[in-house]
Amino acid sequence: SAQKDYKLWLQYNKIQNAVVASEYKTNLGGIVALGSSETSKISLAELETGILDMLGSKPETRSAIKGDNNVIVGSQPALNSDLQKVLASDFDKINNEGFIIKSISSKNKKQIVITGKNDVGVLYGVYRFLRLIQNHKSISNLNIVDAPKINLRVLNHWDNLDRTVERGYAGFSLWNWQKLPDFIDQRYIDYARANASIGINGTVLTNVNANALILTPQYLEKVKALANVFRPYGIKVYLTARFSAPIEIGGLKTADPKDTAVANWWKEKAKEIYNRIPDFGGFLVKANSEGQPGPQNYGRDHIDGANMLADAVAPFGGIIMWRAFVYSEHDANDRAKQAYAEFQPYDGKFKDNVIVQVKNGAIDFQPREPFHPLFGAMPETPLMMEFQITQEYLGFSTHLVYLPKLFQEVLEADTYQKGKGSTVAKVIDGSLSPQKLTGIAGVSNIGNDLNWTGHPFAQANWYGFGRLAWDPYLDSETIADEWLRSTFSNDEDFIKPIKTMMITSREAVVNYMTPLGLHHIMDTGHHYGPGPWVSDLSRPEWNPTYYHKADKNGIGFDRSKTGTNATAQYAQELEQLFDNAQTCPEIDLLWFHHLSWDYKLKNGQTLWNGLALKYQEGVNQVLEMQNTWNNSEKYVDKERFKEVQMLLKIQYKEAKWWRDACLLYFQQYSGKELPAGVEPPI
């Protein structure tokens, strides 16, 4: 039912298998909940609901540890001294947000302790504990000590004040500004709960293409109301700051960051915000990018702009997340090089409370991009990863694409900046070069659709983002497994094929949209469907033809040293690897090289044939996904089954659309027949 869709991965399905259930019942005699904060109340309520729903009965609530088989839930300071002693070495292993879930025996009585240094850590532990039961894992001998490896785990909502969502495909914004602050939609609470269950601890409420009005007192009252809802769930609120706000809402003549009146205006604004929201997170800023105002409007640079704002929030413990997504039409020879060229020289020049937010790739959230060369290249500057959870270039919320597979590929990529093993994950968690701030952002795919994310499987992308934000070394297949069990069913006959379907889906979209390193050939503006022919946009780097450069001699963007030399922005090991078409990974071939249609691929095929076969492979993969899903009918409720079935049908139709459109278009240049195995255009 629609209710199932709404409940995300927190279904807490009743456990039908009596053997499985009995282990849980034995271990869950009573709950001893310590602590009285709002957060502790949430922990207790969650535990009670989860257990009741899954086991059919609620354990006794006990005010003190009596008898056997209790779950003791409380933070370190709330534990008695015996427990504190027993767990001392475990507490040494976790940071403030970490947790411990441990089976212990005290005075010959068996107990399970769920604890952390503070109440939010405990709450994270409770969700982990419940997930064990959701996933039918044993709880008889627990010893889990876990803590987030990244400090700022943040959703970016590209939500406008009129409730439209830029690149949002799941309805309108959750934030009902008109009814706030007095009306608190239950949805805000459910949103906070879902985020807390996967460890997300921050949310930027507003679009990076910011409207300064959000910083006016009327709106700040509404932001405060949301912050109050989110706080007990461990979630801080952030806002986007429009750089020209001092002019637009402050009545100043300039927004020059070196102007004292401007700096003071921001200081006052920060004070005003912190008066209302003492734990306000800070600002996310898109400046001098795609027409947004910024310090360069006044002949200043990104350092001036970011540091001025950093000074304003520093007294209150706030931070500035400054985006590096910049490119300009005035230097359009290679858009992929611009952010690095502009930001790399700034290394070490930002204030301590600034973190630079970098998209995972150098262009823009494509189905596949090599990792952004800034990662590892600014050792003196904290860099925050920006992933896009909403599928702007990957079929919106219509196509099933399991993104954690993409995220993992980026996180695992080796930058070689400090020799082999210098992965992107180690850059962003501060283990490669120590950083005061570490962070990861995901552009949200959430809206007010009944199922939150439009496509039922897009919920997995929200979930998976949270899990990887917590631990960027997790395996995306493990995450898919957890998500499927928590969201649908534990039946192995369901899990196995459907997990394969999810895992395949990422490569499928690459194959039917942009195989072999092609990129940005989506139809322009909305970015849905193919548009490799588009070439008439005013800014050269907005045209798909700029990216594929197909002509009768071949196809691809030469970023090697015979071309734009973008390869030189990578560490030497990679530069050499990418520079040579023979050693360049084939998945990125046309990203870095312009090659003749007859170029021989590793499998012996010509580039033209290989490309055509990749498009066909993508189509075949979607057909296979459809078959897999159709076979799963008996494991899934009617409503979600049908939704996904219809969506996969569209996806199959559109995979063929992509294949036919791209191959017919490129064929004009290659002048070659389609190879055997590729279906003729429909």
Q: Which CB sits closer to ligand GCW, 290 or 598?
A: 290
Minimum distance, C-beta of residue 660 to ligand GCW, in the bound complex (Å): 25
In angstroms, the CA 652 to CA 380 distance is 46
Pick one of 97, 301, 364, 643: the residue that binds ligand GCW (CB under 6 A): 364
Pick one of 24, 124, 129, 158: the residue that binds ligand GCW (CB under 6 A): 158
Minimum distance, C-beta of residue 533 to ligand GCW, in the bound complex (Å): 20
Q: Which CB sits closer to ligand GCW, 509 or 595?
A: 509
3-state helix, strand, coil in the chain (%, to 5): 45, 15, 45
Measuring CA to CA, which residue among 648, 631, 632, 601 is closest to residue 504? 648
Examine residue 209 and tell whether it contacts ligand GCW (CB under 6 A): yes
Query: Candidates 58-66, 227-235, 282-290, 546-554 — which segment interacts with ligand GCW by CB under 6 A?
Result: 282-290
Cis peptide before 315 (omega within 30 of 0): no
Examine residue 392 and tell whether it contacts ligand GCW (CB under 6 A): yes
Using the Cα atoms of residue 94, residue 96, residue 98 and residue 103 in order, give the sign of their dihedral.
positive
Minimum distance, C-beta of residue 541 to ligand GCW, in the bound complex (Å): 12
Q: Which CB sits closer to ligand GCW, 209 or 645?
A: 209
Which residues touch 126 (CB under 8 Å, ≥6 apart)? Answer: 43, 46, 47, 73, 114
Q: Which CB sits closer to ligand GCW, 199 or 373?
A: 373
Q: Which CB sits closer to ligand GCW, 46 or 386?
A: 386
Is 364 considered catalytic here?
yes
Which residues touch 122 (CB under 8 Å, ≥6 apart)? Answer: 35, 39, 40, 43, 73, 74, 75, 99, 114, 115, 116
- Burial of 410 by CB count in 10 Å (0-12 exposed, 13-18 middle, 19+ buried)? buried
Tokens, residue 168: 């949002």
Angle between helical axes of 638-670 and 492-513 (0-180°, round to 10): 30
Examine residue 269 and tell whether it contacts ligand GCW (CB under 6 A): no
Measuring CA to CA, which residue among 480, 371, 352 is closest to residue 425? 371
Phi, psi for 417 (deg, rounded to 5):
-70, -25
Which residues touch 624 (CB under 8 Å, ≥6 apart)? Answer: 501, 504
Q: Which CB sits closer to ligand GCW, 365 or 578?
A: 365
Minimum distance, C-beta of residue 287 to ligand GCW, in the bound complex (Å): 11
If residue 638 lies in a helix (H) or strand (E), which one and from where to where? helix 638-670
Tokens, residue 612: 């055509």
* Selected catalytic residue, list 290, 380, 493, 673: 290
Restricting to residues 304-333, which ones interact with ligand GCW according to CB under 6 A?
325
Query: Candidates 17-25, 211-219, 266-274, 284-292 — which segment interacts with ligand GCW by CB under 6 A?
Result: 284-292
Minimum distance, C-beta of residue 302 to ligand GCW, in the bound complex (Å): 15
Pick one of 117, 128, 131, 167: the residue that binds ligand GCW (CB under 6 A): 167
Tokens, residue 56: 């059919």
Q: Which residues on adjacent β-strands are paired with residue 282?
A: 238, 319
For ligand GCW, the nearest residue by Cβ is 364
In angstroms, the CA 283 to CA 555 distance is 42
Q: In which residue are the tokens 């969700």 written?
A: 127
Within 493-642, strands assigned E span none
Tokens, residue 110: 């068996």
Is 272 considered catalytic here?
no
Minimum distance, C-beta of residue 290 to ligand GCW, in the bound complex (Å): 6
CA atoms within 13 A on the CB side of 155: 31
Minimum distance, C-beta of residue 323 to ligand GCW, in the bound complex (Å): 7
Q: Which residues on adjacent β-strands are paired with residue 358?
A: 385
Pick one of 48, 166, 477, 523: the residue that binds ligand GCW (CB under 6 A): 166
Q: Which CB sits closer to ligand GCW, 97 or 364?
A: 364
Examine residue 523 and tell whether it contacts ligand GCW (CB under 6 A): no
* Selected catalytic residue, list 392, 449, 558, 654: 392
Sheet with 60-62, side-by-side order of all strands? 60-62, 30-33, 70-73, 109-116, 99-106, 143-146
Q: CA–CA distance from 489 to each of 13, 298, 313, 493 (Å)? A: 8, 57, 46, 10
Measuring CA to CA, which residue among 238, 236, 235, 234 is closest to residue 37? 234
Q: Which CB sits closer to ligand GCW, 219 or 542?
A: 542
Is 347 considered catalytic here?
no
In angstroms, the CA 277 to CA 259 distance is 27
* Selected catalytic residue, list 5, 119, 304, 364: 364
Restricting to residues 285-304, which ones interact with ligand GCW according to CB under 6 A?
286, 289-290
Minimum distance, C-beta of residue 282 to ligand GCW, in the bound complex (Å): 18
In angstroms, the CA 264 to CA 249 distance is 14
Q: Which CB sits closer to ligand GCW, 225 or 394?
A: 394
Pick one of 123, 155, 180, 208: the residue that binds ligand GCW (CB under 6 A): 208
Angle between helical axes of 492-513 and 404-412 (0-180°, round to 10): 70
Minimum distance, C-beta of residue 208 to ligand GCW, in the bound complex (Å): 5
Query: Candidates 190-198, 283-291, 582-590, 630-638 — which segment interacts with ligand GCW by CB under 6 A?
Result: 283-291
CA atoms within 13 A on the CB side of 542: 12
Q: Which residues on adjacent β-strands are paired with residue 440?
A: 153, 385
Examine residue 284 and tell whether it contacts ligand GCW (CB under 6 A): no
Amino acid at 658: W
Q: Which CB sits closer to ligand GCW, 290 or 673?
A: 290
Total residues at interface with ligand GCW (CB under 6 A): 12
Pick one of 188, 327, 365, 599: the residue that binds ligand GCW (CB under 6 A): 365
Q: Which CB sits closer to ligand GCW, 129 or 325?
A: 325
Q: CA–CA distance from 333 to each of 337, 479, 569 (Å)? A: 9, 40, 15
Minimum distance, C-beta of residue 547 to ligand GCW, in the bound complex (Å): 14
Helices (H), 31-118: 38-55, 81-86, 88-91
Minimum distance, C-beta of residue 459 to ligand GCW, in the bound complex (Å): 22
Minimum distance, C-beta of residue 390 to ligand GCW, in the bound complex (Å): 10
Q: Which CB sits closer to ligand GCW, 134 or 366?
A: 366
Catalytic residues: 290, 364, 392
Q: Tell me which residues touch ligand GCW (CB under 6 A).
A: 158, 166-167, 208-209, 286, 289-290, 325, 364-365, 392
